[in-house]
Amino acid sequence: MISLTAQGAASFFSQDSTSRAVKSGLALLKASLILQLVFLVVVVLIVLVSRKRAQAQGILQLGFELSIYDFSGFFILLLIRDTFRTVQIFMPSNSMVWTQEAFFCVFDAVPMLAYTILLNWLHPGQHLLHVMKQERRAAAASPPPEHFDDVEVGAGDMKTLAIIAALATGSNAHALATRGQNCCFRLTAEGGTCGPVGQLEDGQNRIGEGLLPTSFCIDKDGEIADNSGRPCILTPPTSQLQCDKGAIGTPGFSISPDGEFKFNGNTEFLACQSGEHGQFNIYTSPPPKDVSGCVDITLEADECMALPSPLPTSSIAPPSPPAVTSVKVVTVTETVCRASATGAPPSIQPSCPTTLNEGSFEFPHLIIPVDSTEPDPPLGTQYNGQVSSTISTIFNFDIPPSDAGKTCSLVFLFPEKSQLQTSSFNFTGDGRVDFAQMNAPATQKTSFHTIPSIKKDFGVSTLAPGSSFVIATFPCPAGETIAFDMKNSGSTELTWFQDFNPAP
């Protein structure tokens, strides 16, 4: 319609146009105006029919009804103007609708001025935003099903690369309590990665080093905002936790009496690699195709800061007594972070703990580098792991029969060089590497040309010193030898001594 109008006007009103061109331009203008007229009539009818159907089904809310009235009014004003212009174009040039300005003022200028003023004053979006906020609050107010929150305790591996299997017992059941208005707190992550939750300047909440410290406040509707006053939302479609100025806060957050941070009653969050400086973004349920390098975490809120309007003590429910559950097999994808005696949030260093339960891990029993520039000669087993543009490394792990029925995790622990006493590494590049499980273990005769085929590719992880990475979780293949390949997927150059002594 825009093209027809532009082309028709250019031909019809041009002084240089031939008689034939003027007639063609007039025909194009008539066609354009008729199409606009039909379009506006159809839109008004659709809006009115939608209102009637919504009313008949009992789902017509006040906000939607006001938006429908706004839409109808706007399109009726456009319909008046377009009807005038359509009638005008079919009339001879010496008729009153062309020669008298009153017709133009009444049927063109006034409707468009009213349209402009009303669109800014009564924009339909303001009613829809109000309805959406009411629905979110209603959804958050719906009580979640009762459940027990398992507390899984395990020890992380101190080795650079290890397979872990562990048992955990016991759980605590806690009453859920949404802390009231004006309650502010800081968040600390525990699990597959640990540390205080900080922020980027744009409001992205992350875990890792080099972030701006931040705190949050929660209101009676379960909506949270950061210390800059920006409402926090779960950004669709990835469900990333982010705080944006002008956003409508996502309701449903709560904090249990013992500090567990929850969304809709669930304590489980995902931390996925951001690809920047070893930092992790925070999600609730992201689509797998949109994220990589994800680990399970929980978030702990510290005590609420003292504010001028303290909460009544009755607003916080006391914890329920502990309930014993059956023994369950879990994966130690959660490296437990413990706060210091002063209650300060833990630093990134606890992601490489200094203790291990005997028998809860396996270090590589065979380390085989393969080089694409020397594809035929086997390099044999080594003490160093290597990743470069031409070299990848295969790691063999022997899983003992006693691990039958347990769950294993492939973990890459990457401490800071300053933490190491009996090991070292050289690292440059973007840190992007690809891990994959092989269909068969490597041998000392394995070369680039005889690498076993890939059974499952775990995708690209972005490594950075001072972090731990849970690459994959799977049932332990008890009594078997399994192999994993680690190769460059960017500009990574990494060489390290595979030490089985604990990091400091």
Over its C-alpha atoms, the chain yields an Rg (Å, rounded) of 33
Q: What is the per-residue pLDDT across 467-491, written as a single tens digit (0 to 9) for each?
A: 777 788 888 898 999 999 999 999 9
In which band, very low, low, confident or very high, does the pLDDT at 132 lie, cut at 50, 70 and 90? Answer: low
Which residues lie closer than 8 Å to 296 by C-beta, 6 or more apart? 191, 192, 268, 269, 270, 271, 333, 334
Which residues lie closer than 8 Å to 28 by C-beta, 6 or more apart? 4, 5, 7, 8, 11, 12
Q: Domains plus CATH for the chain?
A: 1-127 (no CATH), 183-301 (2.80.10), 366-497 (2.60.120)
Q: What is the per-residue pLDDT across 152-202, written as a single tens digit (0 to 9) for each?
A: 333 333 344 444 433 222 333 233 333 334 578 889 898 888 888 999 888
Q: What is the per-residue pLDDT across 31-72, written as a single tens digit (0 to 9) for each?
A: 888 888 888 888 888 878 877 776 676 665 555 666 777 777
pLDDT for 129: 59
d(CA 71, CA 387): 61
Q: With contact defined as beta carbons under 8 Å apart, do 419 and 488 qualify?
A: no
- Residue whose token pair is 């690369």: 161
d(CA 56, CA 50): 10
Please check the confidence at residue 287 and state whether its pLDDT lies above 50: yes
* Three-point CA angle 482, 294, 501, nearest 5°: 55
Tokens (6 digits) for 27: 């025909």
pLDDT for 256: 86
Q: Which helix (H) or strand (E) holds 434?
A: strand 432-438
pLDDT for 335: 34
Sheet holding 454-462, edge to edge: 366-371, 391-398, 481-488, 432-438, 454-462
In which band, very low, low, confident or very high, does the pLDDT at 283 lie, cut at 50, 70 and 90? Answer: very high
d(CA 29, CA 128): 36
In which band, very low, low, confident or very high, does the pLDDT at 136 lie, cut at 50, 70 and 90? Answer: low
Which residues lie closer than 8 Å to 387 by C-beta, 6 or more apart? 393, 433, 486, 487, 488, 492, 493, 494, 495
- Is the pTM higher than 0.75? The answer reads no
d(CA 426, CA 394): 19
Over residues 98-110, mean pLDDT: 86
- Residue whose token pair is 């006034």: 110
Q: How far is CA 25 from CA 8, 94, 418, 469, in A?
A: 4, 19, 78, 68
d(CA 405, CA 475): 7
Bond from prior residue into 237 cis (ω within 30 degrees of 0): yes
